[in-house]
Amino acid sequence: MKPIRLLDNRLANQIAAGEVVERPASVVKELLENSIDAGAKRLTVEVENGGVKLIRIRDDGYGIPKDELALALSRHATSKISELEDLEGVATLGFRGEALASISSVSRLTLTSNVEEQESGWQARVEGRDMEAQVMPAPHPVGTTIEVKDLFFNTPARRKFLRTEKTEFSHLEEVVKRLALSRFDVGFTLRHNQRSIHQLRPASTQAEKDRRVAALCGPKFIENAVIIDVEVSGLKLYGWVGLPTFSRSSADLQYFFVNGRVIRDKLVGHAVRQAYRDVLYGGRHPTFVLYLELDPALVDVNVHPTKHEVRFRDGRTVHNFLFSTLNRALGEVRPEDQLLPTALTHPPQPQTSGIDAGEFQGQETIRLSSSPASSSGGFSVGNNGSGFSDRRSSLSEAPSQGQVKRQIEAYSQLYAAAEPVASSSAIASAMGDDSVQEVVTQFSAQPATESLLENDSLTPPLGYAIAQLKGIYILSENDQGMILVDMHAAHERITYERMKQSYQEQGVRAQPLLVPKSVSVSEREADCAEEHSDYFSRLGLTLERMGPETLLVRQIPVMLQNADVEKLLRDVLSDLMQHGTSDCIEAHINEILATMACHGSVRANRKLSIEEMNALLRDMEHTERSGQCNHGRPTWTMLTMDQLDKLFLRGR
């Protein structure tokens, strides 16, 4: 064994650099965060060769005095915290005091800065070999410029792990994008090899913020996003949430910020996935740019060296707040929201989804973005500036008030048709439970939409039915063009939402097991089950601890009598220990209801009358999440007149 000794500063800084400086993008992240913490309002980033040859960052912040230049390059030197109380409520992006020392140990670094009190600027130069700063005067306006040249010049092994110039710059650009999304009040300029990539001005109004998000995330995202602004009990969530029809094959358009800091957190990801559960197609990922603000003392940012992870003091409250807010925002999107070119503001509605939903109540605003959202199916909705102008004369045979009443009566008969109800009843009977049968019967007896058109001159968002295509699609016409509706998918969503509402109103019905089931778990899982016994009771599960590592299941929900109880219990315990909450049981029940709704909906090749088709369209306009079926498939799409004209080359 070699004797124990202290590491020299150079080696200690290079070891720290292994955690902080992974690639050029890591350098840009640390330096930009320092500039933002210094009050900069304009930032310029210039890089060459993907950031390996040169990284130059200029800011107009407070600057660094001459006497502190050399100290700023020392390890664990910072002005952001001075005692433990400061660490418990960190409000700055950086606080460790390791960035400049680590970067300077693996590069040739030049730090030039000036403050208002000084007559001229001063410069400090450091190379990784000797680590001694050389301070000299240099002209410079108020602010700071940092040049990082020849990254990893003295650590060839690390340089070999770098990728191509294009790959390294893409990572670097992503860092700039994240910071530009986190601070709308700061202007950003990015240049690569003397070529301008981004020039973002400070944004203060909602329209300017929309333009910045569109520039960084693409205009299609803004066109297909719902704006959220909710503040409840010290928690504030705002930003943009993409519609389910604007999903992606990878999670590359997901940005979440906590107090201005971009994070990747399992708790946040679980809450978002739970909110999109009923509306997202399998294998797809949602899109969002969201900001969560809360008391800094309630979140610990000192968890990971790169500060990408945080720990919430009350994770369950944060999880439920995120889920209930996003679930409600997606549920309130109606077809008219995706057609109107103007932003809509919906009044708050009672939350009905989720076991712990309804816990948060307060002032909130959920509205569609200022641009028109795209409908599903790959055709975007054009910006028809006329909105819902009085163009009803262009529609063919728009129903009168009396005809609408007859449509609703016809649709009520469609709901009570023998074939769909028989299918649902067969499933319920196969499950062997009268309460499920009661849910189906109660649903089947529900009347269709009772709200009539108050103004006969106003065309509904989904228009009026014209014909049925191949017994599968409904063709309708509205003020903006032509709409195609998947008849089965739309009816499936309507049926599913009504069955969920009916089941929630009745509550979770449970039945005792004839032979209680014994489940072997770890002692930690058993302690968790005992601690959350009331939570399990609300879910319809009655548990009894029979030993240090044994649980006895005495009662289960009626809807889950054929489910794998042991696997379900383990999944719930895993979620409770990791996130403080679980939706496994509710998800399983919803899967059963979704299957019943699928079998209980109108099938393809079923001929519908014009009255039935129109009544189906009206019900879609008043049903939550009617833009997607239970499996996440789109239920309708639209072709505007402009798109039709382009298809047929009209106006050329």
> Residue 568: is its pLDDT beyond 60?
yes
Task: Report residue 129's pLDDT band, with 50, 70 and 90 as the boundaries.
Answer: low
pLDDT at 644: 92
Chain centroid, CA 90 distance in Å: 25
Task: Tell me how far apart the alpha carbons of residues 159 and 153 are, in angstroms, rounded to a whole number.
Answer: 8
Maximum Cα interatomic distance, the chain, rounded to a whole number of Å? 96
Name the more confident of 195 and 307: 195
Q: What pLDDT does 433 receive?
A: 46
Task: Tell me how far apart the alpha carbons of residues 631 and 460 are, in angstroms, rounded to a whole number.
Answer: 26
Q: What angle do CA 389, 390, 394 make, to 5 degrees?
A: 115
pLDDT for residue 217: 95
* Calpha distance 13→106 (Å, rounded): 9
Query: pLDDT tens digits for 459-515?
Result: 889 999 999 998 899 999 998 999 999 999 999 999 888 888 877 777 777 889 888
pLDDT score at 457: 52
Query: Residue 76: which residues within 8 A CB-CB, separation 6 or more?
Result: 96, 97, 98, 101
d(CA 125, CA 70): 9
- Average pLDDT (300-317) is 80
Residue 512 burial (CB count, 10 A) = 9
Across the range 565-575, mean pLDDT stands at 86
H/E element holding 222?
helix 219-223
Query: Between 114 and 369, where is the model more confident?
Result: 114
**Domain 392-504+597-647 - what CATH class?**
alpha beta
SS3 string, 429-481, reads HHHCCHHHHHHHHHHHCCCCCCCCCCCCCCCCCCCEEEEEECCCEEEEECCCE
Kindly give, in sequence order, each residue whose CB lies less than 8 Å from that of residue 295, ignoring residues fewer than 6 positions away.
89, 234
Write out the two tokens for 298: 């309630």
Q: 299-308, 367-376, 409-418: lowest mean pLDDT where? A: 367-376
Q: How far, CA to CA in Å, does 204 sit from each of 178, 186, 290, 342? A: 18, 10, 17, 20
| Contact criterion met (CB below 8 Å) for 362 and 232 | yes
The answer to whether residue 165 scores a pLDDT higher than 90 is yes
How far apart (Å, rounded) are the C-alpha atoms in residues 133 and 66?
12
* Mean local confidence (pLDDT), 357-361: 42
* CB-based contacts of 537, cutoff 8 Å, min separation 6: none
> 651 pLDDT band (50/70/90 cuts)?
confident
DSSP string, 73-130: TSTT--SS--SHHHHHT--SS--SS-HHHHHHHTSEEEEEEE-TTSSS-EEEEEETTT
Q: How confident is the model at residue 360 (pLDDT cuts 50, 70, 90)?
A: very low
Query: What is the CATH superfamily name and number for domain 509-580?
Result: MutL, C-terminal domain, regulatory subdomain (3.30.1370.100)
**DSSP SS3 for 134:** strand
Distance between CA atoms of residues 20 and 103, nearest Å: 8
* Of 117, 107, 100, the residue nearest 65 (C-alpha): 117
pLDDT in tens, 15-60: 766 667 889 999 999 999 999 999 999 999 999 999 999 999 999 9
Strands 42-48 and 187-192: parallel
Give the pairing type, strands 254-258 and 288-293.
parallel
Mean pLDDT across the chain: 80
Report residue 240 as tokens: 């943009």
Confidence of residue 571 (pLDDT cuts 50, 70, 90): confident
Radius of gyration for the chain, computed over Cα atoms and rounded to the nearest angstrom:
30
pLDDT at position 228 is 93
Amino acid in position 268:
V
- In this predicted structure, the answer to whether residue 620 has a pLDDT above a threshold of 80 is yes
What is the predicted pLDDT for the residue at 564? 85
Indicate the pTM of the whole model: 0.74
For residues 393-406, give the mean pLDDT: 44
Q: What is the 3-state secondary structure (H, E, C) of 22-84?
A: CCHHHHHHHHHHHHHHCCCCEEEEEEEHHHCCEEEEEECCCCCCHHHHHHHCCCCCCCCCCCH
Q: Is 372 helix (H, G, I), strand (E, B) or coil?
A: coil
Q: What is the full DSSP assignment across 530-596?
A: HHTHHHHHHTT-EEEEEETTEEEEEEEEGGGTTS-HHHHHHHHHHHHHHHS---HHHHHHHHHHHHH
pLDDT in tens, 438-471: 444 444 444 443 343 344 457 889 999 999 998 8
Rounded CA gap, 279 and 147, in Å? 48
Q: Which is more confidently placed, 393 or 229?
A: 229
How many Å apart are CA 610 and CA 618, to the nearest integer?
Answer: 12
Question: Beta 364-368 vs 225-232: how paired, if at all?
Answer: antiparallel
What are the beta bridge partners of residue 145?
58, 112
Domain 9-200 superfamily per CATH:
Histidine kinase-like ATPase, C-terminal domain (3.30.565.10)
Q: Where are the CATH 3.30.565.10 domain residues in the chain?
A: 9-200
- At 612, give phi and psi (nearest 5°): -65, -40
pLDDT of residue 75: 78
pLDDT digits (tens, 9 = 90+) for 593-606: 888 788 777 777 78
Q: Using pLDDT thresholds of 50, 70 and 90, give the confidence band for residue 231.
A: very high
Residues 544 and 44: their CA atoms lie apart, in Å, by 62
Where are the CATH 3.30.1370.100 domain residues in the chain?
Answer: 509-580
Residue 592's nearest CA partner among 508, 505, 486, 533 is: 508
CB atoms within 10 A of CB 588: 18
Render the burial of 40-53: b for 16+ CB within 10 Å, e for the rest.
bebbbbbbbebbbe
- Does the domain made of 206-368 have the CATH classification 3.20.20.60? no
Give the integer Cα–Cα distance in Å for 251 and 255: 10
pLDDT of 346 > 80? The answer is no
Spatial distance between the Cα atoms of 174 and 476, rounded to a whole number of angstroms: 43
